[in-house]
Structure 1
Amino acid sequence: MRLRSARPRRHGAAALAAVALAALTISPVPPAAASAGDRQRAYADAARTHKVPQSVLLGVSFLESRWDANRGLPSTSAGFGPMHLTDAAALPPAVHHHSSPTEDPRGDDARRTKVPSGGSAPPPTGDSPRTLERAAELTGLPRDALRADPAANIMGGAALLADHQRRLGAPLSDDPAQWYGAVARYSGAADEGAARAFADEVYTVIRQGAARTTDDGHAVRLAPLPGLNPLRDRLDRLGLREPRPGEVECPRTISCEWIPAPYQELPGGDYGNHDKARRPVDQKVEYIVIHDTEEYYDRTLELVQNPEYVSWHYTLRSQDGHIAQHIRTKDVGWHAGNWYVNAKSIGLEHEGFLAQGGAWYTEAMYRTSAKLVRHLAKLHRIPLDRAHILGHDNVPGTVPGTVQGMHEDPGPYWDWAHYFDLLGAPLRQTGGPRAESVMIRPDYEGNRPYFYGCVPSDPATACPPHGSAAIWLRTEPRPDAPLVKDIGKHPTGDSTYSVYDHSARASSGQRYAVADRQGDWTAIWYLGQKAWFNDPPRARVAIPSRGLIVTPKPGRATVPVYGRAFPEPEAYPPGVPPQEIVPLQYTFAAGQKYTLGRVAGGEYFRAVTFDPERHTVVRGKLRYYQIQFGHRVMFVNADDVVLTIG
């Protein structure tokens, strides 16, 4: 994604060199040392002070932040600290990322370019969450302390839970089963299903227990209470609304409602805002695409209900993980900027910001997203790996002219390793020390690369250090070497350290073929070049990964690389114009290797009219291999390459 309000400034060579040196001092940084028990003691003190069961306080906090402090930085929904105390004053104006003037979310050459204008929107007001303000009233603690001091934040969260309990007319009992209604209210949800789902997940955490070391080095433990059954008798006193009716395609264990996107004819023979289809009968769903909204939840719902806008299948709310479904998974949304991917994917929009106004996503949203994706992947037989579960930033441009405008969400702060843990498909080592490919897998909390561009008013300002799934890639095995170049993203310039520029980055779960090794440095093949990253034994950022490798056939000097897997012209029936097979501007030369993601048959979904009876799927004889060519996946003709195991 690229925000109009947060485009990076161009920097000269000297400035880039200075940035590179600055990056050395910041990445990676291990969590700060902490006295054992300090954070645990803060939970105990707050629980005792406000007469909240410590297990309830720990369970709520875990579902909000996994007990992390996030260095006082706001979440993507302006929540602060381990208890995610929300402060609407910290919310920035937003521009939905589908409003970018450089990308057509539909990405279909057969139709005129569709560049929707969502415009900028002010932060929400009125009923927006302001729990930090209420916590300040209840505790007398300063707002700055509630934001930045984890102990104060925990005290504020405990005060809020006790306040909710009293307002429900419930006792400040030491029995955690008595606190279900207060936990549901803590979610901030206005609808019953979402509040229940949040509370149910908190009590699941309490029953199972948890233990981890936080991002700032504190060991925290929640002892399991396996026999705990919460009392739900006071939930009717919350005054919550019933969810909108509809047959949603969600697992029963999450809160989900039907808020439809319109399928509607528009003037001039146009229509919006998605396409009717018959998946998986006519075409298989191969991908799930992870987006963030660069917008607030309520405003996102307004946009997707506009017939002149674009569409996606689901929107997830940050504060509690609640989900709205907008179009059936059998139908095709306009969200990824590549028609081939759109036709074969399901799009999930997560409330939040790649960088502007937030640096982390809530555990509640991660968990419901993972449950939904696991459900959809099972339904459509989609493998749970990074070749099929894509970020929007992994979707390729369709032709050379669209590469530069493709989006970058969900960005470097999305924790892919944690997400795949929740999916039940951990990113594990699958090869030995001589494996010819590696999987990128840095320690998220300890990996804190340098970025700039998180402050819209001054895009050159360095972003606050924060855990990240991304690593930088360099032209040589030395820390001050320039970043590798992306001739598609920057045709005449260098890659940058902007948080919105993925040109020289790899992220957790992506597999690359090894090109070279020197000392503590490893090189991978990336966009037609060797790309080096520091990978010392004491702080590995990649793990061996055995799998299929793609190389040019003997005698081929170069192999074309494509952004979509379309059929050969002869496959199109009369009346359906063949779609041109256009190679991208990159070079896949002899001697280079790339990892195989999937085998794809040439396919094109023709849908240019409002009448779905006139939509058709064209299949050809061409076969393609999807490869991890850069940060984005791309395709090569299977006849041009050979496969080996490495």
Structure 2
Amino acid sequence: MRPALVLVTAASLALGVTTASAQPADLSRQHAFDSAAAEFGVPVSVLLGVSYLESRWDANAGTPSTSAGYGPMHLTDVTAANAGGMHHDDGTEDPRGDDARPALTPKAAPPVAQLPSLQTVDVASSLIGVPAATLRSETKQNIRGGAALLAKYQKEIGVTSANPGDWYGAVARYGGASDTGSASTFADEVFTTMAQGVERVTDDGQHVKLDATPVQANRGQLAQLGLRQSTSDETECPRTLACEWIPAPYQQLPNNGYGNHDKGDRPESQKIKYIVIHDTEGYWKDVIGMVQDPTYVSWQYSLRSADGYVAQHVKAKDVAWQAGNWYVNSTSIGLEHEGFAKLGTWYTEAMYRSSAKLVRYLAAKYQIPLDRAHIIGHDNVPGTVPATVRGMHWDPGPYWDWSHYFDLLGAPFRPTGSPAMTGMVTIKPDYASNKPAFTDCVTAGQPCTLRGSGSVILRTEPRADAPLLKDAGLRPDGSPGTMQVSDHSSRVETGQQYAVAEVRGEWTAIWYLGQKGWFHNPRKAPTALGAIGVVVTPKKGKATVPVYGRAYPEASAYPANIPVQAVTPLQYTFSAGERYALGGVNQSEYYSATTFDTANHTVVRGKTKYLQIQFGHRVMFVNADDVDVLPSFWPQGR
């Protein structure tokens, strides 16, 4: 039997526990849980635990989750959410990002699979006699519907008990899993949360508390659910995480083609430097079908929204075609999270927790720093050359909660100084109250539902009505950025670090794509934390230095049988006097792997050294010989 899961790192912080002195806010949601638990005979600790693992008790402004779930109880309605596809089908990005091969354009994903796990709202509606639309929009009825579902699952097991431990099977079924491993992972997380207790104020100001309720879970009920037995013998996952091997095919195709990844020998051949966080822009069943298609693309892991289930497709030693930049692909591991950034959907707590466990494990195994220079979003991956910048993808988007995620990783963002004194900031707005007015989530030109976000908007001057900044790569016509949800021309994200350019009262300016970007940063409610770090600036005498999207070797490093890969500057200007936060030192290398026969695969290493910098929303690279490296607090002008 699987052991109970124990959260070992910063448990109270990761769970969002409030201090004893916190003042209760509105208690109506707490009362709704109590009332629904009594009405349907569900232990209140079970109802609260399940809801926390799905939504952290949030309402999310009535918007659907990444797996079409609504409300605190995550009742699913894929018909209402009405989305499909796969983000690798969207835009012009070549997932391989390798100039040595013809561009890869994935075909469109099939229509959304209609599965019972994606339509639980209908069952709940029939159980309590409330329309599905009401269950989606009214939190009290949503909680009643979730309680009725749990009671139904418990009745089908045939156990009548007020002991929370005897509800293990019903909890496991509520997660929607079809296999024993993921069902038990979800249930174990719920019971761990119950044992620890948790208290927080939700996104709409509701004070909810789950008292610590240690119980002996009846895990034997898992066998009564009729689920298939999962296996993780081939996977590279932590022991406490349900993880199944669903391999992506390495297969030869007609006309000397092959798919859908490249064999490698990492970390012996190349150091794994990055973990890339994606969302799928597709639902689970369709996504799993696509990664098993030899003509499609690949990534190392997929994570399911409702229960946090993980599937591994490509070994860490091999290179997946996932990030649109071959240099990043060859030095990274890609995680696809079931979700829809383009629709402004929210991510479940179950998936955040599974992802954090997996990333902690991988980061420890491959010595990857737990910071935003190395744990990056797909939206932080740079274009390879000027022509590819505009087509690069922007997932997981502004609604991924990087602050909560890094709390779960045990690496929370904390201040290390004052911005004016230390010369650097870590972006960290209050996720729940920070609600940028984005547009185009569902309908072009229309406002998105106002929701919490980790994004901070930059202005050309220290005032709220000043224009946004310009991004020469995303908007080559020279127009300023927009508030479209996909446009990060003038946007920074939680955890990213930037060099301070100026401070005026409650406004802070950072260096961003060769400009000063201003954001409101009041002392009493800061949107960024003071930080101490290292910055780079052009060497004395250089008016500008080029920035690059990849750290490729100099031409002389290539053997005669491998075509030289161009080291092409991007279309941005890094001028004297500007400073950018240093993210790491990278030796130049290129993984030549253009044939199915792995005997022809070679890592080319050069003498050129590159420095990774946080230049804009995306990371970029500069030649170390072009810049000076300074402490962030070193006076401007040295």
TM-score (normalizing by structure 2): 0.94
Give yes or no for the alignment of 1:554 onto 2:566.
no
Q: Please list, as runs of the form range in 1=range in 2, the aligned pairs for 1:612-627 lying within 5 A after superposition.
A: 612-627=598-613
Q: Please list, as runs of the form range in 1=range in 2, the aligned pairs for 1:503-542 lying within 5 A after superposition.
A: 503-542=489-528
Give yes or no for the alignment of 1:441 onto 2:431.
no
SS at match of 1:401: helix
Cα distance in 2, alignment partners of residues 189 and 95 from structure 1: 22
TM-superposed CA distance for 1:489, in Å, is 0.5
Q: Please list, as runs of the form range in 1=range in 2, the aligned pairs for 1:147-546 lying within 5 A after superposition.
A: 147-171=136-160, 173-226=161-214, 228-243=215-230, 246-356=233-343, 358-433=344-419, 434-455=421-442, 458-492=443-477, 493-546=479-532
Instruction: Specify the alignment match of 2:584 in structure 1.
Output: 598
Cα distance in 1, alignment partners of residues 593 and 345 from structure 2: 38
Q: Residue type matched to 2:532 in 1?
A: R
SS at match of 1:94: coil
Residues 277 and 624 of structure 1: is their aligned pair in 2 closer, same or farther, counting only changes over 3 Å? same
Q: Per-residue displacement from partner, 1:238-262 (whole Å, max 9, x unpaired)?
A: 1111225641011121111111111
Q: Residue type matched to 1:371 in 2?
A: K
CA contact (8 A) 2:426 2:496 kept: yes
Cα distance in 1, alignment partners of residues 584 and 82 from structure 2: 40
Q: Residue type matched to 2:171 in 1?
A: V
CA contact (8 A) 1:34 1:216 kept: no
TM-superposed CA distance for 1:495, in Å, is 1.3
Q: Please list, as runs of the form range in 1=range in 2, the aligned pairs for 1:21-40 lying within 5 A after superposition.
A: 36-40=26-30
Cα distance in 2, alignment partners of residues 161 and 94 from structure 1: 28
SS at match of 1:543: strand
- List gaps (5 residues or longer) in structure 1: 1-32
Q: Residue type matched to 2:475 in 1?
A: H
CA contact (8 A) 2:356 2:408 kept: yes
Q: Residue type matched to 1:111 in 2?
A: R
CA contact (8 A) 1:180 1:199 kept: yes
Greater shift in the superposed pair: 90-99 or 515-524: 90-99
Instruction: Specify the alignment match of 1:16 in structure 2.
Output: none
Q: Per-residue displacement from partner, 1:115-162 (whole Å, max 9, x unpaired)?
A: 11124x433214343221111111122322211111111111111111
SS at match of 2:524: helix
Instruction: Specify the alignment match of 2:631 in structure 1.
Output: 645
TM-superposed CA distance for 1:96, in Å, is 1.1
Q: Residue type matched to 2:267 in 1?
A: P
Instruction: Specify the alignment match of 1:607 in structure 2.
Output: 593
Q: Per-residue displacement from partner, 1:161-209 (whole Å, max 9, x unpaired)?
A: 11110000011x2211110000001111111111111001101101111
User: Equivalent of 1:87, from 52, 77, 89?
Assistant: 77
Greater shift in the superposed pair: 106-115 or 122-131: 122-131
Greater shift in the superposed pair: 122-131 or 55-64: 122-131
Instruction: Specify the alignment match of 1:26 in structure 2.
Output: none
TM-superposed CA distance for 1:529, in Å, is 0.6
User: Equivalent of 2:128, from 121, 124, 139?
Assistant: 139
Q: Per-residue displacement from partner, 1:509-541 (whole Å, max 9, x unpaired)?
A: 000000111121111000001011111223211
* Count of aligned residue pairs for this structure pair: 608
User: Equivalent of 1:53, from 43, 60, 69?
Assistant: 43
CA contact (8 A) 2:85 2:111 kept: no
| Percent of residue pairs identical | 59
Cα distance in 2, alignment partners of residues 53 and 552 from structure 1: 63
CA contact (8 A) 1:88 1:128 kept: no
Residues 256 and 94 of structure 1: is their aligned pair in 2 closer, same or farther, counting only changes over 3 Å? same
Cα distance in 2, alignment partners of residues 93 and 443 from structure 1: 29
CA contact (8 A) 1:432 1:545 kept: yes
CA contact (8 A) 2:177 2:307 kept: yes
Taking only aligned residues, the RMSD between alpha carbons, in angstroms, comes to 1.3
Greater shift in the superposed pair: 141-150 or 336-345: 141-150
Cα distance in 2, alignment partners of residues 274 and 89 from structure 1: 34
CA contact (8 A) 1:315 1:350 kept: yes
Cα distance in 1, alignment partners of residues 43 and 231 from structure 2: 34
Name the structure, 1 or 2, with higher relative contact order (CA <8 Å, separation 6+). 1
Residues 144 and 127 of structure 1: is their aligned pair in 2 closer, same or farther, counting only changes over 3 Å? closer
Instruction: Specify the alignment match of 1:6 in structure 2.
Output: none
Cα distance in 2, alignment partners of residues 170 and 316 from structure 1: 32
SS at match of 2:126: helix
Poorly superposed stretches of 4+, deviation over 4 Å: none
TM-superposed CA distance for 1:100, in Å, is 2.6
Q: Residue type matched to 1:62 in 2?
A: Y
Residues 84 and 489 of structure 1: is their aligned pair in 2 closer, same or farther, counting only changes over 3 Å? same
Cα distance in 1, alignment partners of residues 561 and 386 from structure 2: 27
CA contact (8 A) 1:256 1:324 kept: yes
Q: Residue type matched to 2:138 in 1?
A: D
SS at match of 1:311: coil
TM-superposed CA distance for 1:230, in Å, is 0.2
CA contact (8 A) 2:583 2:613 kept: yes
Q: Per-residue displacement from partner, 1:377-407 (whole Å, max 9, x unpaired)?
A: 1110000000000100000000011001000
SS at match of 2:220: coil
CA contact (8 A) 2:339 2:345 kept: no
CA contact (8 A) 1:359 1:466 kept: no
Cα distance in 1, alignment partners of residues 456 and 91 from structure 2: 28
TM-superposed CA distance for 1:229, in Å, is 1.7
Instruction: Specify the alignment match of 1:9 in structure 2.
Output: none
Residues 487 and 436 of structure 1: is their aligned pair in 2 closer, same or farther, counting only changes over 3 Å? same
CA contact (8 A) 1:39 1:220 kept: yes
Cα distance in 2, alignment partners of residues 361 and 420 from structure 1: 15
Cα distance in 1, alignment partners of residues 179 and 534 from structure 2: 48
Cα distance in 2, alignment partners of residues 263 and 301 from structure 1: 16
TM-score (normalizing by structure 1): 0.92
CA contact (8 A) 1:91 1:123 kept: no
SS at match of 1:421: helix
Cα distance in 1, alignment partners of residues 524 and 144 from structure 2: 37
Q: Per-residue displacement from partner, 1:574-625 (whole Å, max 9, x unpaired)?
A: 3112211111010000000000000000111110111112101111111111
CA contact (8 A) 1:296 1:351 kept: yes
CA contact (8 A) 2:64 2:81 kept: no
